[in-house]
Amino acid sequence: MHATCKLRAPDVTHSDPAGVGGARSWASRARSASPAPGCTGLVLTTRRGTPIEPRNLNRHFYPIRERLGLDVRFRGLRHTCVTLLLGIGVPPHIVRDIVGHSALDVTMNIYAHADMTEKRAALDRLGSLLADE
């Protein structure tokens, strides 16, 4: 990350191979920190703070993926993130802003899939509401 940035992206460790703990800690600090002058605001950068070239990112990502035994492409991480955010009830317009889609329709058409459990729960809630009236 650029020398003037206060935050560093989380590292993957043996005790936390997915980097989840570090990512949560980083996200918490990122929310409370004010951006330093010259900081790009990017989570993943080169050591000089510039955006990572896609080929270089893949060159580093795939060995980590194999070491962790994951069968996912880098792009799949984005899809998983959006799906999880929507699944925990983050408003779609916030998810749209996080992933940088230009329109809410894009986010919802690509990522919003409800499984049968979610559909049944929604209809059960509607039924309960109507039964109380």
pLDDT per residue over 80-120, tens digit each?
888 888 888 888 889 888 888 888 888 888 776 656 677 78
Q: What is the pLDDT of residue 67?
A: 93
Torsion angle in degrees (nearest 10) through CA of 22, 25, 31, 35: -60
Closest CA to 40 of 29, 30, 54, 25: 30
**pTM for this prediction:** 0.50
9, pLDDT greater than 50: no
Average pLDDT, the chain: 75
pLDDT at 126 over 70: yes
Q: Give 10-28 pLDDT, tens digit per residue.
A: 444 445 555 555 555 655 6
pLDDT range class, residue 2, cuts 50, 70, 90: very low
Q: How far apart are CA 4 and CA 36, in angstroms?
A: 6
